[in-house]
Structure 1
Amino acid sequence: MDPIARLDRLPLGRPHLRLLFLLGLGWALDAMDVGLIGFTLPALTREFGLSPVQAGLLGSVGLLGMLLGAALGGRLADRLGRKAVIGYSLFLAGLGSLLTALAPSLAWVFLFRFLTGLGLGAELPVAASLMAEWSPLRLRGRMVVLLEAFWAVGWLLAALLGYLLVPEYGWRLAFLAGALPALYAAYLRLSLPESPRWLMARGRVWGVDALV
């Protein structure tokens, strides 16, 4: 039987749930980073004396980065593989958050939030693709929806960080916690399986047989 056809017919098992958890944790960390700007914006406004327009732009610059990152992420995933792009983009998002915490001026905060958005935008659709490409055919939509549910977990984490850290320790420590995706990216590079469909498209049938 064709390896992809065999993959589509596999029953839901531990490998699928493990992949869902690994990718879901990445989604949650991404959502946490997206949510942090909303919970830290009042503190940033006070420190830098932001006008309403500047505050709105700061809240939006990460979304602009996500838009560009999503466009680039799919192209890179087709060339480099899903696993590589997920790892690199999570690292970029975490690095951007770390640099935001260390930013010496408002201009640098803008730049680093855009950089964070690039990583987030590239990771999210590629992670959803990897989940779909590994899932049994009859459960594919359901598994992607379950993955997207981790987004809510990330926003809850952002709210907790905003409530517990920002009033007492300031916005920089909150963004420092947002650097966790950079560490998680290193673990994912060792733990995630590659997409069997991507391997098949590259003629690496032996790799698909080993995975499936």
Structure 2
Amino acid sequence: MKTIEVNQIIDNARFTRFHWMVTLLCALLLVFDGYDLFIYGAVLPVLMKEWGLTPVEAGALGSYALFGMMFGAFVFGPLADRIGRKKGVAISFVLFSVSTFLSGFASTPTEFGIFRFIAGLGCGGLMPNAVALVNEYAPKRARSTLVAIMFSGYSLGGVLCAGLGIYMLPRFGWQSMFWAAAVPLVLLPVILWKLPESVGFLLRQGQQVKARQMLGQVVPLEQLGADVHLVQADAKGASVPMLDLFQQGRAMGTFMIWLSFFCCLLMVYALGSWLPKLMAGAGYSLGSSLSFLLMLNFGGVVGAIAGGWLGDRFSLPKVVVAFFTLGTVSIALLGLNSPMPVLYLLIAIAGATTIGTQILLYANTAQFYPLAIRSTGLGWASGIGRTGAIVGPLLGGWLMAAALPLKLNFLVFAVPGLVAALAIGCFILWYSGKAELPSVSGAVARPVV
């Protein structure tokens, strides 16, 4: 019986059509996820007028979906380590698509908030599992780039949302934006057919035959007959306690990752929820305000792909620090009375260094934790980060209610970027002298510094 270590095969595999399939399928799922997450910012000015919402009430309503995302990340991340990432992704996709569609039938803010909370559960569950799946199958030399390409679908969803909003809101009303979310469900059979299951999960379940078949798609030229026994250095049982995230020298990294997620998602959702309304209040039309949201997400696409490319060639955490620093400066400058081309450029940079940096944080987190607790680590980081996402819309509502000058609003939004840069800087300093970290099984994981 020949024994083969799975991670070594995947890490050194040549890039194939299989890798593109996994990356693009997960990217497509995140397009729909991103559409769902940015839809509230697109319809917010209309909802505030139709339902007579105060800024504080509107901020609270925008946080309902983010509360759901927090719980969804906590639940579906660890759950996928037990039932499989493919099932976790499919359940999350159906949950947020159906709930978003039903949000279009809400007649009161309470009904709307309930549907948005349920949709948030699905969105929160999809992200960490999609990241973990792509990260697991990607060759080591292209891992950050593939995760970034996959996660750029999230920003494309925001671009799609803003573009449809410019066309659909004046013609068909805010409800049509939510009804359109049911269309992607026609792709569910394709997702169930083509999306692969985690090879690590298959091995933990003792499904050697299916694991060999799956690995045969990753390395088609490798001979994986019945005499081959697959093992995984950091695989363990189905039980994945959260305490593993703090063991074997990972405590400091876990805390700094959580803090950076909190700050980054606060900025992303503060801008995503309130940028159109802030710009409308500054005298821009609704169409122009939505074009700012479109530019924010377009910048997120560019930032994610560029950051992933830089992360594979340089230190990923150092790229994250640079992005956070640039994002802090660009957001702070948004409140100044700049010419329109400069304003668009600053918004694009802000999108690249907030939405794009969020994607890099997921990639860095996936590389920090060993495979057996990767979904758990991503789920908890995402869940803790969702508290920042919840604070973002609320903070915007409080600032709007206080009627502060525009530049002060953006200065407040910029402060978390500085805190996040310092957190990842501490992460780099703490692990820069450590060549490797023990994993939960005694194998080693190398810190990505």
Question: Is the helix fraction higher in 1 or 2?
Answer: 1
TM-fit CA distance, 1:74: 0.8
The match for 2:5 is 2
Residue equivalent to 1:71: 74
* Residue type at the aligned position of 1:59: G
Indicate the larger mover: 147-156 or 84-93: 147-156
> What's the C-alpha RMSD, in Å, of the aligned pairs?
1.4
1:166 aligned partner: 169
In the alignment, is the contact (CA less than 8 A) between 2:22 and 2:195 conserved in 1?
yes
Render the CA deviation track for 1:42-94: whole Å, top value 9, x for unaligned: 11112211121111111111111111111111111011100001011010000
Taking the TM superposition and a 5 Å limit, the aligned residue runs for 1:51-62 are: 51-62=54-65
2:202 is paired with a residue whose SS is helix
Select the residue among 7, 24, 29 that pairs with 1:26: 29
User: Is 1:90 the equivalent of 2:70?
Assistant: no
CA distance in 2: counterparts of 1:71 and 1:180, whole angstroms: 27
Give the corresponding residue for 1:113: 116
Contact 1:45 / 1:55 at 8 angstroms: preserved in 2?
Answer: yes
Distance in structure 2 (CA, Å) of the matches to 1:182 and 1:76: 22
Say if 1:90 and 1:120, in contact at 8 Å, map to a contact too: yes
Contact 2:202 2:211 in 1 (8 A): yes
Cα deviations across residues 16-51 of structure 1 (Å, max 9, x unaligned)?
011111100101110011111101111111221112
State the shift of 1:123 in Å: 0.3
Aligned residues between the structures? 212
Choose from 202, 205, 210 the match for 2:208. 205
TM-score after normalising by structure 2: 0.46
Identity of aligned residues (%): 33
Alignment of 1:49 onto 2:34: no
- The letter of the residue matching 1:35 is F
SS state at 2:107 partner: coil
| Distance in 2 separating the partners of 1:53 and 1:211 | 50
Deviations 1:76-115 (A, max 9, x none): 1011100001011010000111110112322110000111
Distance 1:162 1:98 in 2: 16
Higher Rg: 2
Query: Which secondary structure state, in structure 2, belongs to the residue aligned with residue 165 of structure 1?
Result: helix
User: 1:130 pairs with 129, 133, 140, which one?
Assistant: 133
Please give the alpha-carbon distance, in whole angstroms, between the structure 1 residues aligned to 2:205 and 2:173: 48
Tell me if 1:175 matches 2:178. Answer: yes
Pairwise mapping of residues 187-202 of structure 1 onto structure 2 (< 5 A)? 187-202=190-205
Contact (CA 8 Å) 2:95, 2:119: kept in 1 or not? yes
Unaligned runs of 5+ in 2: 216-449
Q: Does 1:147 align with 2:128?
A: no
Q: Is the 8 A contact 2:72 2:120 kept in 1?
A: yes
Alpha-carbon distance between aligned partners in 2 of 1:180 and 1:197, rounded to the nearest angstrom:
32
What is the distance in 2 between the residues matched to 1:41 and 1:108? 16
1:153-190 CA-to-partner distances (Å, cap 9, x unmatched) read 11100101111111111010001112234333343122
The one-letter amino acid paired with 1:53 is V
Q: Would you say the 8 A contact 2:61–2:109 is kept in 1?
A: no
CA positional deviation for 1:192? 0.6
Return the alpha-carbon distance in structure 1 between the equivalents of residues 141 and 203 of structure 2.
21
**Please, which runs of 5 or more residues in structure 1 have no aligned partner?**
none
Q: Which residue of 2 aligns with 1:99?
A: 102
C-alpha spacing 1:75/1:178, structure 2 compared with 1 (3 Å): same
